[in-house]
């Protein structure tokens, strides 16, 4: 039983969370070290993951409930990176807030461990527990701020999240009832053998699963919570929700739908559902984002629209007959590129709004005068979100469209393309205000942790924008676990 080794990355993160609580309780004078404990835990987790890449020894653990494969490794790196960036970006804010240092980071690491479990889970019970492990800390974190807005965000997220979880459980229960197993592999075997006879119950379960995960993926029509929570929650937490939580939801959705429901009996059905959701989500998200005046709400709606673009890749998974699983790898690539880009945008917003005390887009005018670095960084991230080269966002969009076209979803790609024009309008209008307007405000200093996290995100955006091959290779090999 070498199970501990197989959950090493999660283990490292959880140990760090425990250490943080200890430091917080026993060494109150040393509280400023807490973020570094968190970073050390994440670094250990990443190192552990690297050692696997070297060992090339992929397997399943705990009776097949957890998988250790290229796919989970990809997400371990992604989540460790995301959480590290968010931790760095939180330091200033939490110091100013002046309370609950230990709990904040401990919760964030616990949530990160939950995300990692989610990416590796191959069993419905494990998936559900991992989902709750990652979600419950997020509910608390969303309500961390002192103002009523933040409390409202926390409660709203909690209530809607609970409803989504219950819908998800219904779907899982139906699947279990029909197939008699909670393991995705067994369900997959059942679906391909007897799916035809049980089609109606399977479709019912599938719809419930999509609804439940749709909440976490922030897909229209399950997106209502997004703008309010993103706006109300502390900005670092919004950043975390918009990339970490979303990426994990996509990770697990791909696992479930590909391993358990991937047989031809069902795949055309869910492919169509995802295609329609993609079209609706992109369009609704973008149209609503145009009208926003608050930058966090704008990023919230834009993240909805981006989720719609991911869905193109999901819809393309089933209908593609290309053995390279283009759809899956394009979604993975997009998730990674989106993570760098959106984190970069959020970190810049954190740094700016700390000084500004405002999230209004109009107050961002002339930011280049007050901090050229932040202004350029924000503009670059927005350009990447639009999908203009030489940024990582360009490759991501291109690969998703590429998968869509190969899967004969040209109509959907056309909608996606038109949507990127709409998104260009609001992204670039913010970039324009930041880079052009006039402002007499004082200079905005950027603290070292924020600079580091922003520089890391920007490096990802630019390096992979110019030389995307490593990222594409990683996404490809991660997607390679799915049968063609």
Partner 1 sequence: MELTVLVFLPVAAALLIMLLPQSQEQNAKHVALIGSVLALALSLWLFFDFDKGAEGFQYVTREEWVNLGSFRIQYFFGVDGLSMPLVLLTTFLTVAAVLVSYSITMRPRLYFAMLMVLATSVLGVFVSLDFLLFFLFWELELFPMFLLIAIWGSGRKEYSATKFVLYTIAGSAFMLIGILLLAFSDLQTFDIEQLGRGEVTGTLLPLGWVFFFLFVGFAVKLPIVPLHTWLPDAHGDAPTAVSVMLAGVLLKMGGYGLIRMCVTIMPDQADDYGVWFVAIGAVSVLYGAFITLRQTDVKRLIAYSSVSHMGLVLLGIGALGETSLVGATYQMLAHGVVTGMLFVMVGLMYERTHTREISRLGGLARQMPLITTGLVFAGFASLGLPALAGFIGEITIFLGAFQDYEWAVLMSIFGVVLSAGYVLWTLQRVVFGPVRHEWDDVTDQHRWWEHSAALGLAALTLVLGLWPALMMDMIGPAMDPILVRLAG
Render 59-94 in DSSP notation, one character per residue: EEETTTTEEESHHHHHHHHHHHHHHHHHHHHHHHHH
Alpha helices in 143-263 (DSSP H): 148-179, 184-194, 199-217, 225-232, 235-240, 246-255
Bridge partners of 67? 60
Contacts of 349 (CB under 8 A, 6+ apart): 235, 295, 296, 299, 359, 378
Structure tokens at 112: 């990160």
Q: Is the bond leading into 189 cis (omega within 30 degrees of zero)?
A: no
Residue 217 or 407 having the CB closest to partner 1: 407
Q: How many CB atoms lie within 10 A of CB 17?
A: 25
Residue 340 or 399 having the CB closest to partner 1: 399
Residue 222 or 364 having the CB closest to partner 1: 364
- Cα separation, 367 vs 118, whole angstroms: 39
Residue 261 or 298 having the CB closest to partner 1: 298
Q: How far is the CB of 53 from partner 1 (least distance, A)?
A: 20
Q: How far is the CB of 57 from partner 1 (least distance, A)?
A: 25
Q: How far is the CB of 381 from partner 1 (least distance, A)?
A: 13
Q: How far is the CB of 134 from partner 1 (least distance, A)?
A: 32
- Cα separation, 253 vs 363, whole angstroms: 39
Residue 351 or 479 having the CB closest to partner 1: 479
Q: How far is the CB of 396 from partner 1 (least distance, A)?
A: 13
Residue 335 or 435 having the CB closest to partner 1: 435
Q: How far is the CB of 406 from partner 1 (least distance, A)?
A: 6
Bridge partners of 201? none
Q: How far is the CB of 372 from partner 1 (least distance, A)?
A: 9
Structure tokens at 150: 């933040």
Interacting residue ranges for partner 1, rule: CB under 8 A = 322, 324, 383, 386, 388-390, 394, 398, 401-402, 405-406, 408, 410, 413-414, 417-418, 420-421, 424-425, 428-429, 431-432, 435-436, 468-469, 472-473, 476
- Residue matched to tokens 């110019």: 466
Residue 140 or 326 having the CB closest to partner 1: 326
């Amino acid at each position: 039983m070498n199970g501990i080794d197989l959950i090493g990355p999660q283990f490292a993160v959880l140990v760090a969370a425990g250490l943080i609580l200890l430091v917080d309780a026993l060494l109150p004078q040393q509280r400023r070290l807490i973020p570094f404990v968190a970073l050390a835990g994440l670094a250990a987790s990443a190192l552990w993951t690297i050692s696997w890449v070297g060992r090339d020894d992929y397997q399943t653990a705990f009776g097949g409930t957890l998988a250790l494969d290229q796919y989970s490794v990809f997400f371990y790196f992604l989540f460790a990176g995301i959480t590290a960036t968010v931790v760095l970006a939180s330091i200033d804010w939490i110091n100013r807030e002046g309370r609950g240092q230990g709990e904040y980071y401990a919760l964030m690491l616990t949530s990160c461990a939950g995300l990692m479990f989610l990416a590796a889970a191959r069993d419905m019970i494990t998936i559900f527990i991992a989902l709750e492990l990652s979600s419950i800390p997020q509910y608390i974190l969303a309500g961390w701020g002192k103002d009523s807005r933040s409390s409202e965000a926390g409660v709203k997220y909690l209530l809607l999240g609970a409803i989504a979880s219950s819908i998800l459980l219904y779907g899982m229960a139906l699947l279990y009832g029909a197939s008699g197993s909670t393991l995705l592999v067994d369900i997959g075997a059942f679906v391909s053998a007897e799916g035809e006879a049980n089609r109606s119950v399977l479709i019912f379960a599938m719809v419930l699963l999509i609804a439940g995960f749709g909440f976490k993926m922030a897909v229209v029509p399950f997106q209502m919570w997004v703008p309010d929570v993103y706006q109300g929650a502390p900005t670092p937490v919004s950043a975390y929700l918009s990339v970490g939580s979303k990426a994990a939801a996509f990770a697990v959705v791909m696992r479930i739908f590909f391993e358990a429901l991937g047989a031809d009996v069902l795949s055309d059905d869910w492919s169509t559902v995802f295609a329609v959701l993609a079209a609706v989500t992109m369009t609704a998200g973008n149209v609503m984002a145009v009208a926003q005046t608050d930058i966090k709400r704008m990023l919230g709606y834009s993240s909805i629209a981006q989720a719609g673009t991911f869905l193109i890749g999901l819809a393309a998974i089933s209908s593609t007959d290309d053995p390279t699983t283009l759809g899956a790898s394009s979604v993975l690539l997009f998730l990674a590129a989106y993570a760098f880009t959106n984190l970069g945008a959020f970190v810049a917003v954190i740094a700016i709004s700390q000084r500004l005390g405002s999230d209004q887009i109009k107050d961002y005018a002339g930011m280049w005068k007050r901090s050229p670095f932040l202004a350029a960084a924000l503009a670059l991230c927005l350009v990447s979100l639009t999908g203009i080269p030489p940024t990582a966002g360009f490759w991501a969009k291109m690969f998703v469209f590429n998968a869509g076209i190969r899967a004969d979803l040209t109509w959907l790609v056309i909608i996606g393309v038109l949507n990127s024009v709409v998104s260009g309008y609001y992204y670039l209008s913010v970039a324009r205000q930041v880079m052009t307007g006039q402002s007499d405000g004082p200079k905005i200093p950027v603290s070292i942790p924020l600079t580091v996290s922003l520089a890391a995100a920007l490096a990802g955006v630019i390096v992979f924008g110019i030389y995307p091959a490593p990222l594409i290779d990683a996404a490809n090999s991660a997607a390679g676990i799915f049968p063609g």
